[in-house]
Amino acid sequence: MKQGKYDSRRENLPFCRNKIEKGGNIMNYNELKDLQDHIVFENEIKKYQLQYFFETIERLGLDKSISSLYPKGLYYGDEINLILFYVDKIVIANVSNDSMSFETIKNCHISSVEMEVKRSGDGKRKLSISFDNHKEIVLIPKEDTVISFGEKFFEIIENIYKNLNNAS
């Protein structure tokens, strides 16, 4: 089971950075934020877009509204799945090109969460999330999808935030 743990004292940063650059690894919000200075981007614009993403999350207070007692995940790959874990619910926001969808799973009573990237029967990558009441969420990213953290992403995050307030 791949847990996305990261120790800043680890010396294999090139390994981490390659995995992030190619996408498909799991890290929690703070881990990815701490790693952003070590990520090698194709160009400087992508670096600023990622920085803008974190600033937007913090500006909207989403980082504070997530329970600090539970894991929180960001799947950074062909698609972006922002997974917000709360004490009694999980909210998943799926961002793909110009579209956004989200799902709220209430009354989860989460005490443990496991996340894993694996291949499905047809060989496609999938992100599997399971938690203690034995529900499993499977997210299958589209192959060869390029995501841009552009201005539209601010609008997407804002919509997620509004929906979170409505779902509470």
Q: Decide if 108 contacts 89 (C-beta within 8 A).
A: yes
Residues of the chain with pLDDT under 70: 1-50, 52-54, 56-57, 60-168
Is the Cα dihedral 33, 36, 41, 43 positive or negative?
A: positive
Q: Read off the pLDDT of residues 121-163 as tens digits, 9 standing for 90 and up.
A: 665 555 455 555 444 444 444 443 333 334 444 455 555 555 5
| Exposed / middle / buried, residue 165 (Cβ in 10 Å: 0-12, 13-18, 19+) | exposed
Compute the distance between CA of residue 54 and CA of residue 59 in angstroms, rounded to an integer.
8
Provide the pLDDT for residue 83. 54
- Within its chain, how far is the Cα of 166 from the centroid? 21
Is the Cα dihedral 106, 147, 61, 54 positive or negative?
A: positive
Task: Output helix, strand, coil percentages for the chain, rounded to the nearest 5.
Answer: 35, 30, 40
Q: Decide if 75 contacts 26 (C-beta within 8 A).
A: yes
Residues facing 74 on adjacent strands: 27, 82
Provide the pLDDT for residue 55. 72
Is the Cα dihedral 51, 56, 58, 59 positive or negative?
A: positive
* pTM of structure: 0.36
- Listed by start position, the domains of the chain span 13-167
Q: Decide if 125 contacts 24 (C-beta within 8 A).
A: yes
